[in-house]
Amino acid sequence: MISATRRYLIALLAVLVVCALPLQAGAADEVSLQNAFTDVAEKVGPTVVTIAMERTGRVPLVAPGFRRFGPQAAPGKPDPFEEFIKTYFGNLPQAEFKQQGLGSGVIINKEGYIVTNQHVIENATKITAILSDGRSFPAQVIGEDRRSDLAVIKIEAANLPVAELGDSDRLKPGQWTIAIGNPFGYLMRSPEPTITVGVISALHRSIPVPANDIAREYMNLIQTDAAINPGNSGGPLCDLNGKVIGINVAVFSQAGGSIGMNFAIPVNMAKKILEDLMQGRKVAYGWLGILIQDITPQMANYFGLSSMEGILIAGIYKGTSAEKSGLKPGDVITKFNGAKVADMRDLTYKVLHSTIGEKARICVIRDKKEKVIEAVIEPQPGQAPPPQKEEEKEPAVKQDVSVWRGIRAVSITEKTASQLGPGDRKGVAVIDVEADSPAYISGLRPGDIIREMNRGQVTDLNGYRRAAEAARGNVLLRTDKGYFIVGESEK
């Protein structure tokens, strides 16, 4: 017989053992996670390089007695101050200056190819790659792509450590991320990279680009709260296995520092571009030749759609794959190669990164019926069609004017066409829109070219008038900028 005291002690011991198990498991998990972080730092850290670059620029030396006031010239535009000085005083001597910058990069093969951001090495006259062990090598640019903000540089060195590229298509929000780079390297004065840890905050993020840098497109990015600071650009974003899942590219911060909204280019997107860059080829992006717009609730109601998923084709460029395939304005694209299309950015991304020459299967809704159309992906033309002008004054020559729901429209004459730049003379030109009118509220502006009304083609002013007189309720207009729904006046 076991005594009561002994039974009590046995029960107490069992309780203590059971209570200790979760603590031991938690401690073990913490140690395991910590070991994972240190393993990644040891594995990937040596593949990360500091990129130091120099740019050489010139500025005119202003003659003694002259002081400069007022705004600087816009990028790429002539400087009015310099033009004035040149006109009256001739060419002035110029002073040369050097601008220095730092970024990060990651070695992707034994031959010394390093991937970084294009903005890190842009217009560089001298590039130096500094390895984590302190060795430095001159680097040359092999290829760069402004649109994706990716570049490949190369160094001549032996026995280089190489980072392993992962699979960014399998990422999920909440996964651990490790950002590696050399932020503020000019302050730290150390070639050894630093690591910051966080999670994937979101996927498929798009962020705006500066107004003076519209050539770039930051779409489908990985968002992480792992701290990324100036100098981290071009460094790798890794998973817990030490595989590169992204290339750090941007920080969303008014102050310029990390506030937990940091972005990286998915490595799967980068792989396609790096293949071209490493061969010194220009990156070719896909194009269909369509003008698209997102679907509003009013558009969904007008076209009888059950949801706002997909995008609306607002126009087709002549001679393009879209026209040859049979796509038409008014079609609603719901799927691209079997994948759902969420919005304009989603479709734009899918088309841009499609293989040139492949046949894309495009699912559209036309007249409330589903239809699948095959269109060949073409390379983007060297120069996009000029943007439609939004603001123009009424032509100097008086013309017959039609007024409807706040729109003042005229026929497209040769003079009008030269001013507004439409592709052909079928349609009518909007020369004025009354403030607070139904047309103004819908988004129509002077300079718009109306091509259709309620899906019927508008060829001239008389046809436009007949269609306007017959129109009741909400009216669908197609312009060179897209579709607009114009309601009736409440007055």
Domain layout of the chain by residue ranges? 167-269, 286-379, 402-486
Pick the CATH number of 167-269 from 3.40.190.290, 2.40.10.10, 2.60.290.11, 3.60.15.10: 2.40.10.10
**pLDDT tops 50 at residue 390:** no
**pLDDT tens by residue, 276-300:** 899 888 888 999 999 999 988 888 8
User: Annotated catalytic, 204?
Assistant: no
Determine the Cα–Cα distance for residues 203 and 354; give it in Å rounded to an integer. 20
Are domains 286-379 and 402-486 of this chain identical in fold?
yes
Task: Give the pLDDT mean for 82-89.
Answer: 56
437 catalytic residue (yes or no): no
Q: Of these residues, 104, 145, 148, 149, which one is catalytic?
A: 149
What does CATH list as the number for 402-486?
Answer: 2.30.42.10
**Catalytic status, residue 258:** no
The pair of structure tokens assigned to 92 is 């002035």
Can you name the CATH fold of 286-379? Pdz3 Domain (2.30.42)
Cα separation, 175 vs 89, whole angstroms: 63
Largest CA distance in the chain: 117
Query: For residue range 360-382, what is the model confidence (pLDDT) as tens digits?
Result: 999 999 988 999 999 999 988 86
Q: Which of 104, 168, 201, 233 is catalytic?
A: 233
Whether pTM > 0.75 for this model: the answer is no
Asked if 232 and 183 count as a contact pair (C-beta separation under 8 A), the reply is yes
Confidence grade of residue 402 (pLDDT, cut at 50, 70, 90): confident
Partners of 50 in the beta sheet? 104, 130
Q: According to the per-residue pLDDT averaged within each range, which of 238-242, 253-257, 412-416 is highest?
A: 238-242
pLDDT band at 61 (very low <50, low <70, confident <90, very high): low
Note whether 277 and 284 are within 8 A (CB).
Answer: no
Say yes or no to pLDDT of 257 above 60: no
What is the pLDDT confidence band of residue 37, given thresholds at 50, 70 and 90?
very high
What are the beta bridge partners of residue 26? Answer: none
Taking the C-alpha atoms of residue 293 and residue 18, their distance in angstroms, rounded to an integer, is 61
SS3 assignment for 251-289: ECCCCCCCCCCEEEEEHHHHHHHHHHHHCCCCCCCEECC
